[in-house]
Amino acid sequence: MQEFLHLLELDDQEQDQRLFVTVIVPVPIPKLYTYSVPFHLKDVVRVGCRAEVQFGKSKLYSALIYKIHHKEPESYSTKPLIDVLDLEAVVTPQQFQLWEWMSRYYATTMGEVMNAALPAGLKLASETTLLARPEFVEEDLMRQDLNEKERTILESLFHRVELSIAEVQTILDQKTIYPHIKSLMEKRLVRVKEELKHKYTIKTVSCVTLAEPYHSDPSRLREVFERLPKRALRQAETLMAYIQLSKEMPDVSRKALVERAKASTGVVKTLVDKGVFELYKKEISRLSNYEGDVMGNFQLSQAHYDTKRTVLLHGETGSGKTQIFVELMEDAIAKGQQVLYLLPEIALTAQIVQRLQKHFGDQIVVYHSKFNNNERVEIWQAVIDGIPIILGARSALFFPFVNLGLIIVDEEHDPSYKQQDPAPRYNARDTAVFLAHLHGAKTLLGTATPSLESYYNVQQGKYGLVELNKRFGNARLPIITIVDAGEATRKKQMKSHFTPQLLQAMEETLANQEQIILFQNRRGYAPVYGCNTCGWTADCVDCDVSLTYHKFSNDLHCHNCSHPRPLHTSCPACGNHSLIIKGFGTEKIEDEIKIYLPEIKVARMDWDTVKGKHGHERIINSFANREVDILVGT
């Protein structure tokens, strides 16, 4: 009996030592779930690491380990972790604290915050794959109970073994395919499996090196030159180009060798086949490096903020706010701290980055929505590794800072700091203040027109205040003239959408060899496309907003859901063919400027022309280099 009680006691001890983890799954659920830790994973589970879990009946996710404990939930039986995906944490304790605060303050779930915070390359979700059952044979393709779509799927499976859902959608040229898959499963012809897909891939470049024995004894290359036939001139030139490049760089890429030798990749392959060269893959970063000159340090100005953790820097446009930012950043970096520099718009980053790189060189990394998933993962890792300066839009708040000392929120009043959709719907300025509190860092809010909230916090004594009331060098503010376009229209003085005052000012500016920027708050050619007879207008069937006409693509676009629609040739309401466009956007302004100023170079900067992560930078640089006389934009 005592032996039996002793065994029960041991069982209780083992039960107490069972390990559990509470995880965050990137889905909008109000509670967190607990999983049991298998014995072989007990030594590798760590808070902040990703773990593969089964959620629901079949879905697999990479969840984040939030807590490790010995308490088994009472309301449900736990599932075991499938695997741990990281050796080191990818999320810091301060990040978890920030997520907790955001989920409470902005009434959202931890899963939604995780979804917004982690780069897509670190969020893994299962991908459904369709497979034929082992008993499936070619004769099954002739079954009478198959429709055309089902037979097409089976024929593809017969040749390709397995298909992803996306591939099935492509083959059938339709999005709704689940009824066909369900039918095939009920007929026991196919089955599905879930497999966790890693989205991040390492970027590599093909490099060239000397094969043995030439690598260990380069003097033996003389033998190679002597053996090369006279007609193999390209091979000799390629070998000479390699010798030159190997003195300039540690790893010679195949692309650089081909460009230097002005040869083809076939010549390189020939030298590989002859045993002179070897090819290998080298892992490289997707993040660009600054190669210009770096300016010296600056002395810290009198804009100290020792008494307040958050300071509002209220300064006139051109008063030198950016110079103060630079000095404070240099002070933080000298202490070994990281700096987060937030901007409301991607368009501003190209200008600010060029100014900051002259001071900090490669110490700065840039982040915004135009970067692809792999680049975002590399930026995430660069922040973990301690890159000193992170410059980005509002989502840069979510990075895993290791020693954050200063947050700068430039243009703090800008409404673009507010995330509207999807959740979490947060204000990056306010979140930055809390993030700085978590790290014991300081926050500097810079603006020429303070928001009411920030100015109220100054009056309540929560924030400090520094004011710059004079522009740098006592420069004068520009003269602003308000012109009544309605009156000019009544007097029939308008030329298209241009007032005579505007055209005259443009002509004088261009005569002085100066440049012009024209702002219009609508992109596209015309915001309304409708019937001149009955008043019908083309609206988006999904969003119930007016469709915008784009001349370049000659179709209608919804600027809310981005869905394109073809042009109507007749009015759907009355059948009349007198359809017209009303209003004007940036595309139309660009088009019509050329009528009145035909010799002038015009460029347009809006969402349609800045595709790609370097789109803003390309247009701004061309304007800065005076390749453009007039820039039209939103």
Q: Which residues of 517-542 are buried (b: 16+ CB within 10 A; e: fewer)?
A: ebebebbbbbbebbbeeeebebbbee
- The model's confidence at residue 304, banded by pLDDT at 50, 70 and 90, is very low
Q: Does the pLDDT of residue 404 top 50, yes or no?
A: yes
Top-confidence residue, 411 or 468: 411
Q: What is the mean pLDDT of residues 376-392?
A: 86
- The model's confidence at residue 347, banded by pLDDT at 50, 70 and 90, is low
User: At 62, which helix (H) or strand (E)?
Assistant: strand 59-69
Q: How far apart are CA 194 and CA 57, in angstroms?
A: 11
Question: Which residue carries 């907790």 as its tokens?
Answer: 100
Q: What is the pLDDT, as a whole number, of residue 293?
A: 43
Angle 416-420-421 from CA coordinates, rounded to 5°: 130
Q: Count CB-CB contacts under 10 A for residue 53.
A: 22
Nearest CA-CA partner of 588 in 525, 630, 529, 517? 525
Q: Does the pLDDT of residue 360 top 90, yes or no?
A: no
pLDDT in tens, 37-96: 998 888 889 999 988 888 887 788 889 999 999 999 888 889 999 888 887 888 999 999
- Residues sharing a CB contact under 8 Å with residue 88, sequence separation 6 or more, in sequence order: 46, 49
Q: How far apart are CA 502 and CA 485, in angstroms?
A: 10
Q: Does the pLDDT of residue 355 top 70, yes or no?
A: yes
Q: What is the mean pLDDT of residues 31-36?
A: 93
In the chain, pLDDT over 90 holds for what percent of residues? 22
Question: Which residue carries 């390359």 as its tokens?
Answer: 121
Average pLDDT of the chain?
82
Sign for the CA dihedral angle at 492, 495, 497, 501 comes to negative
Q: Does the pLDDT of residue 531 top 80, yes or no?
A: yes
Q: What is the mean pLDDT of residues 234-258?
A: 87
Q: How far apart are CA 505 and CA 518, in angstroms?
A: 12
Task: Give the least confident one: 132-136, 368-372, 438-442, 476-480.
Answer: 368-372
Q: Does the pLDDT of residue 198 top 80, yes or no?
A: no
Q: What is the pLDDT, as a whole number, of residue 303?
A: 46
- The model's confidence at residue 3, banded by pLDDT at 50, 70 and 90, is very low
Q: Domain map of the chain by residue range? A: 18-122, 126-196, 204-283, 310-474, 515-633
CATH number of 126-196: 1.10.10
DSSP conformation letters of 307-355: S-SEEEEEE-TTSSHHHHHHHHHHHHHHTT-EEEEE-S-HHHHHHHHHH
| CA 299 to each of CA 15, 330, 443: distance values in angstroms, whole numbers, following the listed order | 62, 9, 20
pLDDT in tens, 126-152: 566 778 877 777 777 778 788 888 888
Q: How far apart are CA 349 and CA 26, in angstroms?
A: 30
Q: What is the pLDDT, as a whole number, of residue 349?
A: 60
Q: Does the pLDDT of residue 488 top 70, yes or no?
A: yes
In the chain, pLDDT over 70 holds for what percent of residues? 87
pTM of the entire predicted model: 0.63
With contact defined as beta carbons under 8 Å apart, do 298 and 323 qualify?
Answer: yes
Fold equal for 18-122 and 310-474 = no
Nearest CA-CA partner of 432 in 525, 343, 327? 343
Q: Does the pLDDT of residue 28 top 80, yes or no?
A: yes
Q: What is the pLDDT, as a whole number, of residue 324?
A: 84
Q: Is 252 helix (H, G, I), strand (E, B) or coil?
A: strand
pLDDT in tens, 409-431: 999 999 989 998 888 999 999 99
Q: What is the pLDDT, as a whole number, of residue 581?
A: 85
Angle 31-37-39 from CA coordinates, rounded to 5°: 175
Q: What is the pLDDT, as a whole number, of residue 178?
A: 65
| CA 549 to each of CA 539, 554, 588, 590, 593: distance values in angstroms, whole numbers, following the listed order | 11, 7, 10, 15, 19
Q: What is the mean pLDDT of residues 244-272?
A: 87
| CA 524 to each of CA 1, 172, 547, 552: distance values in angstroms, whole numbers, following the listed order | 87, 34, 10, 9
Q: What is the pLDDT, as a whole number, of residue 196?
A: 54
| CA 594 to each of CA 137, 485, 496, 600: distance values in angstroms, whole numbers, following the listed order | 67, 21, 12, 7
Q: Does the pLDDT of residue 229 top 90, yes or no?
A: no
User: How far is Cα of residue 487 from the mean position of the Cα atoms in its chain?
Assistant: 46
Sign for the CA dihedral angle at 19, 24, 26, 32 comes to positive
With contact defined as beta carbons under 8 Å apart, do 476 and 319 qualify?
Answer: no
Highest mean pLDDT among 51-60, 236-245, 358-367, 617-626: 236-245
Rg (the chain; Cα; Å): 32
CATH number of 310-474: 3.40.50.300
Q: What is the pLDDT, as a whole number, of residue 151?
A: 85
Q: How far apart are CA 79 and CA 22, in angstroms?
A: 11
Q: How far apart are CA 450 and CA 414, in angstroms?
A: 9
User: How far is Cα of residue 322 from the mean position of the Cα atoms in its chain?
Assistant: 25
- The model's confidence at residue 302, banded by pLDDT at 50, 70 and 90, is very low
Written as six digits, the tokens of 159 are: 């040749």
Q: Count CB-CB contacts under 10 A for residue 596.
A: 13
Q: Is 130 helix (H, G, I), strand (E, B) or coil?
A: strand
Q: Does the pLDDT of residue 605 top 60, yes or no?
A: yes
Top-confidence residue, 610 or 264: 264
CATH class (in words) of the domain with range 18-122: alpha beta
Q: Count CB-CB contacts under 10 A for residue 402.
A: 15
